[in-house]
Amino acid sequence: MEENFLNCINWEEKYLYIIELGHYIPYLSPNQHTLENIIVGCQSQVWITINIDASDYVIFHGDSDSAIIKGLLTMIFIFYHHKKYYEIINFNIHMCFKKLSLNKYLTLSRLHGLETIIQTIKNKIHKIRQNT
């Protein structure tokens, strides 16, 4: 994913690639679009579910009413893929986005939404771990 993104010639190609990534997001059914799963603080509607399997790996599903946010959410899931919950808590995903220079291309409100999603994921992981 990173190589494909970096090979895009201009922002328009990068933007279209992010939208395309959104088509591959781990599916979240419409009946899971609940208040419990919504991410508060994003301009777009964003829902995620998080489960931790018996081996401590985190399993994500998500959806958004925004094509670009759905793609960004997919990118987050890719960066967190096959990581255990404690690895995600300590993982510096901001370095991944910095490598892609996303801060140059996204509006402040999108960057704020991205940060809200990342913090919500970490908070949900903490909550799940406290309840087990």
Q: Which residues are marked as active site?
A: 42
Location of structure tokens 């419990």:
36
Rounded CA-CA distance 83/85 in Å is 7
How far is Cα of residue 116 from the mean position of the Cα atoms in its chain? 10
Tokens of 42: 């994003």
Enter the DSSP assignment of 64.
Answer: E
Alpha-carbon Rg of the chain, whole angstroms? 14
Dist. CA 16–CA 11, nearest whole Å: 8
Residue 84 backbone phi and psi in degrees, to 5: -80, 160
Count how many residues are written for the chain: 132
